[in-house]
Amino acid sequence: MISSKEILNITDFLNQAGLSYEADVALKEFSYFRSGGIVKLVVCPRNYDELQRLVKYMHVDGHEYKVIGDTSNLLFLDDVAYGVLLSLKHFSAIKYDEGEGIICAQAGASLPLLSRQALQWGITGYENFEGIPGTVGGGIFMNAGAYGPEIKDCLVKVYGVQSNGEHFELTNGEMQFAYRESFISKNQGQYIITHADFTAVKGETQRIFERMELLHAKRHKYQDFLYPTLGTLFAGTEVYSAIGRNDKKYTLMLKVLERLWFSKKFRRERPMNKRRLNDFVCRYFDWNFDVKPFSDKTMNCITNRGQHTDKILEYIELLRSHLPETARLENEIIQEYRFSD
């Protein structure tokens, strides 16, 4: 919790230091999911020195803040006022050092842009990141991946600022990557990634392009583009089968319906949505929603159709209660970093 007096003190520091910021930002316009109340300050350092100076000040004075990228994995709550967000939007450069065989990408650069830049340079290994709606920093934090490859497969070294303002460097091995986690995610709030070095393995440009084009088309089959969404909700499980894993009748009916509706033996290709399957699940478990909280393409993806985030939270808990404990929530619900007038 951060007070109005603290906000005034931070604002005075920002003005004196000449740091860029926005005040009283409406999160419904600012956040990726188009949800949330307001945030009192969004601070946007323009370079490493500004970031380090800001972090040291916040650490010494004991002010809390949340580091953000594109917010594509963050659920901000409606009617909640937040304190300070530290945005890395100005850390967006991507450079290729052909002599060293290294790509250097800043934390605020988007993963799709990194993928497309690699294509232009004829570098392979980044095709699978083309459709991930996040930043390099966020991707490293959670070891993002798609269709097999993950960030760990091409990362060399990570650089940034610790929560006390001191510089840090971590090699790939020191990052302790695992499925959707890293050393930094396990020590959340202690490290801020500013940039990273990646491998640069040359490939055949046409093959790289064809692979990216194929994956782009695949993503359109399960990513919602009509409503704001935060992508996959629960990782590490196939939601439809996991929901009724202990119900033999449900499991049998699901197999029959999936074969009828989605098998290539009966259809030329898989449909672009799972509305009929979603309807079946809701009828079977007697789930009723005034406004549908999930995507037509999968129940494992929340969508903002104008409902209050309380309804989104209710759905998340409903789905969680039917899934095994191994299913992990990928989206981050922002409960902390609140402002108190």
Provide DSSP, 236-254: SS-HHHHHTTT-HHHHHHH
Residue 217 lies in a domain: no
Express each pLDDT in 226-244 by its tens digit: 899 998 899 878 899 999 9
Contact at 8 Å (CB) between 224 and 301?
Answer: yes
In this model, does residue 162 exceed pLDDT 80? yes
Express each pLDDT in 88-142 by its tens digit: 999 999 999 999 999 999 999 999 999 999 999 999 999 999 888 899 999 999 9
- Whether 194 and 101 map to the same domain: the answer is yes
List the end-to-end C-alpha distance of the chain, in Å, as a whole number: 10
Average pLDDT over residues 214-234: 82
Give the torsion sign (CA, 58, 59, 61, 64). Answer: positive
- Whether 72 and 98 map to the same domain: the answer is no
- Work out the mean pLDDT of the chain and round it to a whole number: 92
Express each pLDDT in 19-75 by its tens digit: 999 999 999 999 999 999 999 999 999 999 999 999 999 999 999 999 999 999 999
In this model, does residue 265 exceed pLDDT 50? no
- Whether 262 and 291 map to the same domain: the answer is yes
The whole-number pLDDT of residue 217 equals 76
* Residue keyed to tokens 């309380």: 310
User: Considering only 52-56, 185-189, 271-275, which range has the smallest mean pLDDT?
Assistant: 271-275
Residue 228 lies in a domain: yes
- Whether 111 and 84 map to the same domain: the answer is no
- Whether 84 and 105 map to the same domain: the answer is no
- Whether 75 and 62 map to the same domain: the answer is yes
In this model, does residue 262 exceed pLDDT 90? no
In this model, does residue 268 exceed pLDDT 80? no
Average pLDDT over residues 313-334: 94
Residue 215 lies in a domain: no
SS3 of residue 97 by DSSP:
strand
Structure tokens at 256: 């029959």
- Whether 45 and 102 map to the same domain: the answer is no
| Domain edge (last residue) among 90, 111, 127 | 90
Provide DSSP, 122-166: TEES-GGGTT--SBHHHHHHTT-BSSS-BGGGTEEEEEEEETTS-
- Whether 330 and 242 map to the same domain: the answer is yes
Residue 216 lies in a domain: no
| Domain edge (last residue) among 203, 235, 265 | 203
Structure tokens at 309: 């985030």
Residue 14 lies in a domain: yes
Express each pLDDT in 288-321 by its tens digit: 999 999 999 899 999 999 999 999 999 999 999 9
- Whether 81 and 98 map to the same domain: the answer is no
The reported pTM is 0.91
Q: Return d(Cα 141, Cα 176) in angstroms, integer.
A: 11
- Whether 154 and 243 map to the same domain: the answer is no
- Whether 187 and 134 map to the same domain: the answer is yes
- Confidence label for 257 from pLDDT (cuts 50, 70 and 90): confident
Task: Write out the residue range of the structural domain in which residue 157 sits.
Answer: 94-203
**What percent of the chain is helix, strand and coil (3-state, nearest 5)?**
35, 25, 40
Q: Domain count of the chain? A: 3
In this model, does residue 267 exceed pLDDT 60? no
- Whether 162 and 198 map to the same domain: the answer is yes
